[in-house]
């Protein structure tokens, strides 16, 4: 179980790295609002990383960091980037569910309880990415709409846990 938790800690850090790469992509296009949204997302992923980090030590384990995979630098459009973000969140959800399954098999109730926060969080993570995907689809790369959405996403604030 500890090995799997450690892998997930690295996956969360990889998520932060991916969202920073997406932030840089948007920054380069001068979409400051999209970039802001991605930077906050990266910060959240770093917090997820640290939750695993602390939990591993609480359970008398040892956090070990792997090499991070180089993230993609460019996407075909803002829509393509947010679709990739949504797909990534679905992938992370699948990983969390696998961890819950493993913890259940091992009767590791403390880890199930720890992971439940992530089960709930993933519902929000998928929903927020999907909402933006759907808005971008409706806009169909219309410049005025893109700039309006960019201004809206610039308002994103950190969620309180
Ligand atoms: Fe840490 Fe976006 O899942």
Whole-number CA gyration radius for the chain = 17
49 Cα nearest atom in ligand 1: 1
What's the mean pLDDT in 75-92? 97
122 Cα nearest atom in ligand 1: 3
125 Cα nearest atom in ligand 1: 2
pLDDT tens digits, 36-56: 999 999 999 999 999 999 999
Question: Does 16 map to a domain?
Answer: yes
Residue 28: phi and psi, rounded to 5, are -65, -30
User: Whole-angstrom Cα distance, residue 4 to residue 72?
Assistant: 25
Question: Does 89 map to a domain?
Answer: yes
Query: Which CATH number does the domain housing residue 84 bear?
Result: 1.20.1260.10
Question: Does 125 map to a domain?
Answer: yes
Question: Does 70 map to a domain?
Answer: no
Our count of domains for the chain comes to 1
48 lines ligand 1 (CB under 6 A): yes
Q: What is the pLDDT of residue 142?
A: 87
For residue 127, the enclosing domain spans 2-64+75-153
pLDDT tens digits, 124-151: 999 999 999 999 999 987 889 999 999 9
């Amino acid at each position: 179980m500890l090995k799997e938790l450690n892998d997930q800690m690295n996956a969360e850090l990889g998520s932060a790295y991916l969202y920073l790469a997406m932030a840089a992509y948007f920054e380069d296009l001068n979409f400051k609002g999209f970039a802001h949204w991605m930077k906050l997302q990266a910060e959240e992923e770093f917090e997820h990383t640290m939750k695993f980090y602390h939990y591993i030590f609480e359970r008398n384990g040892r956090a070990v960091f792997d090499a991070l995979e180089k993230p993609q630098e460019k996407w075909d459009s803002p829509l393509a980037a947010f679709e990739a973000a949504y797909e990534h969140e679905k992938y992370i959800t699948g990983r969390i569910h696998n961890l819950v399954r493993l913890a259940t098999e091992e009767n590791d109730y403390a880890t199930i309880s720890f992971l439940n926060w992530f089960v709930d969080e993933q519902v929000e993570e998928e929903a927020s990415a999907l909402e933006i995907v759907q808005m971008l689809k409706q806009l169909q790369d219309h410049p005025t709409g893109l700039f309006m959405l960019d201004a809206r996403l610039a308002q994103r604030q950190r969620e309180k846990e």
